[in-house]
Structure 1
Amino acid sequence: MKSFKEIEKEAKSCKNKARKKALEILLALAEIYEAEKFIEIDSVQISGVSYKNIGDAGLEFLRNLSKEDAKVVVKEATLNPCGIDLELWKSLGIPEKFAKKQIEILNCFKRMGIKATCSCVPYLIGNRPKKFQSIAWSESSAVCFANSVLAARTNRESGISALCSGLTGITPLYGYHLEANRMPTHLIKVECPLKGVSDFSALGYFIAKKISRGVPYFSGIKASNFDELKALSAALATSGSVAMFHVHDLTPEAKTRELRDHCKKTLKVKSLRKAYKELNSRVKRIDLVAIGCPHLSINEIKEISLLLKGEKLETRLWLFTSRKIKERAGKYIRVIEKSGAKVLADTCIVVMPIEYLNIKTIATNSGKAAFYLPSYAKVKVRFGSLESCINAAINGIWKDET
């Protein structure tokens, strides 16, 4: 641990331009949040990777930084999804101009020693922090998952601050690195049944919209699996700025001690109907079904392969995962591709330039995608269960759930 003055002194005397710039940015961040000390970190996850998001200004920043002898000093430095599947972009109809700029962005990161993993689930592909380990991650869903399910400690960094932490190995000591800020603020009594990723997405969307920020403590969740908690994390970080939650007797910090007494407010969830209604349009014909926001795990890919076995699709179905998981899931992917579906890596439906691809309507089981796509891509969205989404891909039509 180092003091603000020690880092300030180091920044003034630093000869490496990139490191000096990174230290100055982190000092400014510490000043904003009144952090008096810095802690060492050994893992970063960097967002702001898609050319669609950062544009020419972001590319120019990375181009200049990567030419200034910038090198990461942490053990794990991974990237968020970019705007293209690096192998399939041409066949998908992505403009070459966009693809070239996207590839240049990735090359800038690579020159700095960052792994071009291009996934929003770093914890599934090797960048998995230990319990109570301090890290600097910027992908909002991964931040929420790391704090809540893995019991690691990270603030919701920007892409730039996470990159600066990667270049220096430090982050300011404030926010979720401090025990006091990890205590729950709202007791959420879940009084309706939850089934599957879409229900957990709807719950996260509904609660984050209600409380905006804070640390919800969920009671009444009888059971949940890894992928459902992944979906809950993503949705909580989407409609609000929630970066951590607890689930009674399930998440690590809620297992080891009684936390609900810290809650100042209580909310009851009797139904998810309103959340589903707000995340849905009324379109029937579907141009594309997009599954995998956050990126799919092997278990999810296996489940989809069982639903698609022997089927043929009426409309496009794209599944999104990391390249590492795609390589491991070969036998399931062969079944999936026989139906006519595509399994994409490196990218995500939210950060792809789908406005070039004549896609007007999308079905998804992701609350995060359903929330962002109408504004990011100017499309109409149907949101529902995985089974409803697969049926829409097979029939080309969305059938309302009863």
Structure 2
Amino acid sequence: MYLTREEESIYDGNQGEARKIAIRLLVALGELGGAERLIPIKSAHISGVSYKNIGDGGIQFLKKISDRVSVPTTLNPLGFDIENGGPVDIDENFRKKQMEIIHLYLNMGIRESFTCTPYYFYSEPQFGDHLAWAESSAIIYVNSLIGARTNRESGPSALASAIIGKTPDHGLHRTENRRPQIIINVSVPLDYTGFASLGLYLGPLLRNRIPLIRVQGRPKDMELKALSAALSATSSLPMFHVEGITPESNLPVESGEKVEVGTEIIKETMAKNTSSTEPEVIAIGCPHLSPEEIEYIANLVKGKKKVGPDLLLFTSREVRERESKAVEIIEEFGGKVLADTCMVVSPLSSKYKSTGTNSGKASFYLPMKGYGNQKVSFMGILDLLRWVIS
């Protein structure tokens, strides 16, 4: 790789050990990906924030690479809501370790965002912007729906890019690597859970092949967010195109291969990813809820009486603050609106063994051993709320 004089100086350790570690990581990744140079980025987003995910080894890495970031940088969710507590009781060791992680990040100049949807308010990329984002659901969202450019970064590589302010010029930063490679024809109209199911079905099928998806009607942003999260959870896919909707859907298709998706596939996928076990908690917000989603749920529960399982909603601090009236309605009903954390990175299974959710991503992760072997009821919001509305 070609390095400028300043980059060579950093590489040689003349600007400190942390920056040397960061740029050497980027150069190694760049050489592996065939990059010829580093390019400037507009922002970075860091995953690997919850102590549940990174453990003591992650803390040691953060101490070694600790330096001020060079670009606006946001953080993924952590293990609990810092201001309000929850979603479950946290033991003192977990809390102490989690706050140590947070302080390490904040000392680098990283924003207290704690969300998997930084594209709402915190960091709003524009078409063509080069980024270094971790968090799979955010990566696929900004590549696909906005047309910004980021590879599927890990927490360490995104942090290295944040410190240096650059990323290797390869992969999704190059137009030729963003072209669709397969066509998906969806013959049935889909709602939110239908798009999540489509993602669960296509992920293992596509692996890393970028699809051009032809759908019925014009999907809402929140529905494509559900598709993004489920696709990225079940594959290494960094982006997709939706014909006539996403900004780069006119790129030429590299293959004539087509896959047909109809009603039966969607129904079978939903059935495969759900359990008949009655949920102990209804958890909504993976990815974090948008303002529109918070308002929608508030209207559904307004004036109603709560029964049955606990109701937990997950969003960012910014959305919770902006939608304070809707949050008040939900909490008067008996639900709880949490920020900073989510159902996947918090130790939810320490209290709940069965969860109801509309999230394809959560329905994929929560049954895994590392996430508590939970029984998951995967269904739409209206069906979920039937468990809690009298």
Tell me the TM-score range normalised by the shorter chain.
over 0.9
Q: Verify the 8 A CA contact 1:120 1:295 in the aligned structure 2.
A: yes
Q: 1:198: Cα distance to partner?
A: 1.0
Whether contact under 8 Å (2:51, 2:97) holds in the other structure is yes
Asked if 1:247 is matched to 2:242, the reply is yes
Moved more, 50-59 or 219-228: 219-228
Matches within 5 A, 1:2-401: 3-4=2-3, 7-8=7-8, 10-66=10-66, 70-74=67-71, 76-89=72-85, 92-195=88-191, 197-254=192-249, 257=250, 259=252, 261-271=253-263, 272-283=266-277, 285-311=278-304, 312-357=306-351, 359-375=352-368, 376-394=371-389
- 1:89-143 CA distance string (max 9 Å, x none): 2684122221121111111000000012100000002201111111000110110
Counterpart AA for 2:307: L
Tell me the alpha carbon deviations over residues 39-77 of structure 1, each in whole angstroms, 9 at most, x when there is no partner: 1112000000000000111112213433xxx10011x20
**Deviation of 1:300 (Å):** 0.2
Cα offset for 1:258?
5.5
Is the CA contact (8 Å cut-off) linking 1:185 and 1:263 kept in structure 2?
yes
Runs of 4+ in 1 over 4 A off after TM superposition: none
The DSSP-based 3-state class of the residue aligned with 1:123 is coil
State how far apart, in whole Å, the 1-side matches of 2:3 and 2:89 are. Answer: 50
Percent identity for Structure 1 against Structure 2: 42
Aligned to 1:393, the other structure's residue is in SS state coil
Kept after mapping to 2: 8 A contact 1:288/1:362:
yes
Is the 2:86–2:338 Cα contact (8 Å) retained in structure 1?
no
Contact 2:230–2:360 (8 Å) recurs in 1: yes
Distance 1:368 1:263 in 2: 28
**Contact between 1:90 and 1:96, CA under 8 Å: does it hold in 2?**
no
Unaligned runs of 5+ in 2: none
**SS of 2:376 mapped into structure 1:** strand
The count of residues paired between Structure 1 and Structure 2 equals 384
The residue identity in structure 2 corresponding to 1:307 is: L
For structure 1, the residue ranges without an aligned partner over 5 or more in a row are 396-402
Q: 1:28 to 1:267 in 2, by over 3 A?
A: same
What is the TM-score normalised by the length of structure 1?
A: 0.92
Q: How far did 1:244 drift?
A: 0.5
Deviation digits for residues 253-312 of structure 1 (CA, Å, limit 9, x no counterpart) = 12xx353x43342100012012101211221x2111100000000100011011111221
SS of residue paired to 2:388 = helix
* TM-score normalised by length of structure 2: 0.95
Range moving further from structure 2, 103-112 or 25-34: 25-34
8 A contact 1:363–1:389 mirrored in 2 = yes
Quote how far apart the aligned CAs of 1:85 are: 0.5
The amino acid that maps onto 1:73 is S
Question: What is the root-mean-square deviation of aligned Cα atoms in Å?
Answer: 1.5
